[in-house]
Amino acid sequence: MRKLISVMASLVVGASVLAGPAMAQDKGTVGIAMPTKSSARWISDGDSMVKQFQEAGYETDLQYAEDDIPNQLAQIE
């Protein structure tokens, strides 16, 4: 579980850095990896991140791993 939290924290920090519109000159695709759809919180966070990135001009790829760490690692590779 700690690994999952560490992965999520890293992704959120990375996404926060990319969210600044002044920093992005080449708008591309942002991958968003969430742990599961079983919690309303993760669904809400994922939808919110997609909305914010799309408003900033990025394409998004939101994926849920359903609490399967190997699956989540494969999604972000």
More reliable by pLDDT, 7 or 29: 29
Buried b vs exposed e over 15-25: b needs ≥16 C-beta within 10 Å? beebbeeeebe
Residue 42 CA, chain-centre distance (Å), reads 10
Kindly report, residue by residue over 12-70, the tens digit of the pLDDT: 656 655 555 555 567 899 999 999 999 999 999 999 999 999 999 999 999 999 999 99
0.75 exceeded by pTM: no
Q: Which fold does the domain 2-20+29-76 belong to in CATH? A: Rossmann fold (3.40.50)
**Residue 1 DSSP label:** -
Q: What is the DSSP string of 5-69?
A: HHHHHHHHHHHHHHH-TTT-SS--EEEEEES-SSSHHHHHHHHHHHHHHHHTT-EEEEEE-TT-H
The domain ranges of the chain are 2-20+29-76
